[in-house]
A = this chain, B = another copy of it.
Amino acid sequence: MKHVYFDNAATTQMRDEVINSITDVMKNNFGNPSSSHSFGRSSKSLIEKSRKTIAGFLNVSASEIIFTSGGTEADNLVLKSAVKDLNVKHIITSKIEHHAVLHTICDLQKDYHISVSYIRVDSNGVIDFSQLESLLKTEEKTLVSLMHINNEIGNILDIERVANVCKTNNALFHTDAVQSIGHYNLDLKEIPVDFLAGAAHKFHGPKGIGFAFIRKNSLLKPIVVGGEQERGLRAGTESVHNIVGLEKAMELAYNNLDKETLYIKDLKAYFIDKIKSNIPNATFNGHSADNVKSTYTLVNVCLPVSSKKAAMLLFQLDLKGVACSKGSACQSGSSQSSHVLSEILNDDELQKPSLRFSFSIYNTKDEIDYVIEVLKEFID
């Protein structure tokens, strides 16, 4: 059977070079980085080299990169410590953020009685900048948390603009950049974000490792305490092999960025063209059909499929070996709905099934042709 993996926004296939780096570390560097002997120092030097490499690609200091178990933990670390230790009393966010951000903020609201403002988003998922600016006119210590690239609809937020407006208003700015790290160049000297979260497995690195960028002198404190690892910001023996895998994935992503971006951009354009010509009544959610306002890595399509057939859609795609992600709030048989699409689509649109297709360097146009043929079978 054909297997087509179009769910690269969920996770990605690891690069062979990344696997080799990880395997090499597992075989040859088992020391605990906290040990002072040669075995320990050898592991320590690996993670410090990784930290430096990653910091280099983001144009920040190595000391500003804190390794975590992934993007979710990085979001939790930043948001929780900002409230607990930096005395943030007000968080501004949107309802289309990742659950790692939204659920953390909900918990903080309950536990610390902070106020939370949700910025309006329009039917394309674009945040209301003027509302953001007016919300920032407050005496309360405020943190803004808005993701760089939306994981469901692909919208790109102008984080430089948000960062600057936050700076002007003495607010802190955290961005979940899990969908952009490894896919877009980010110069954090130019973009004055205070905090950022990234995860290796979204760009062909290993699962279980990510990082928080924490701007110097921000006075955050750990949410996992114990040993003094990660400059006291994250306790626990470091996952040395995973850290080196993250480094390698980042290195390969950025060293090949232009070439690979072009390749994937071309796939997305081809996919959109094929959808338009074969399923003319399909619509695109958010700005996902716009090649400037949306990431080149994903597209979110609302399909003109009857509710009867819609119920079987993902199941049938899976049977045909096609892996993609549901993006509809009313996917039958599923208890999980998309909180993102629920925010931006109207009731009629929500009745139709939406699917997210997300691409990588390992995909081909042949695969797209196959998926379009499979999709056509469902169209009334």
Contact = CB atoms under 8 A, between A and B. Distances in A.
Interface of A: 3, 5, 7, 10-14, 18-19, 22-23, 26-27, 30-32, 34-40, 69-73, 75-76, 84, 98-101, 103-104, 107, 111, 199, 201, 206-209, 223-227, 235-242, 314, 317-318, 321-326, 334
Contact of A237 (B11, B101, B241, B318): B11
A14 B30 contact: yes
Contacts of A14: 26-27, 30
Contact of A314 (B36, B98, B100): B36
A10 B26 contact: no
A108 B224 CA distance: 12
Contacts of A206: 26, 239, 241
A72 B323 CA distance: 36
List of 5 A-B pairs having minimum Cβ-Cβ separation, nearest first: A208-B239, A100-B226, A72-B236, A69-B69, A37-B323
A336 B125 CA distance: 52
Nearest to A235: B72
Given A38-B318, A235-B103, A226 B31 contact: no
A223 to B, nearest CB: 7
Contacts of A226: 72, 75-76, 98-101, 103-104
B26 A22 contact: yes
B104 A225 contact: yes
Contacts of A224: 69, 72-73, 76, 223
B34 A10 contact: yes
Given A206-B241, A207-B242, 6 more contacts: A5-B39, A37-B322, A37-B324, A70-B239, A84-B111, A223-B224
30 contacts: A3-B38, A7-B39, A11-B237, A13-B30, A14-B26, A18-B26, A22-B26, A23-B26, A32-B201, A35-B323, A37-B317, A38-B321, A38-B323, A39-B323, A40-B323, A69-B208, A72-B227, A72-B236, A73-B236, A99-B225, A100-B226, A100-B227, A103-B235, A104-B226, A199-B237, A208-B239, A208-B240, A208-B241, A239-B242, A242-B242
Contacts of A38: 3, 318, 321, 323
A368 to B, nearest CB: 17
Contacts of A201: 32, 237
Given A225-B107, A323-B37, A208 B12 contact: no
A84 to B, nearest CB: 8
Contacts of A239: 69-70, 206-209, 239, 242
A37 to B, nearest CB: 4
Contacts of A37: 7, 314, 317-318, 322-324
Nearest to A102: B226
Contacts of A3: 38-39
A35 B327 CA distance: 12
A201 to B, nearest CB: 6
A191 B185 CA distance: 53
A238 B26 contact: no
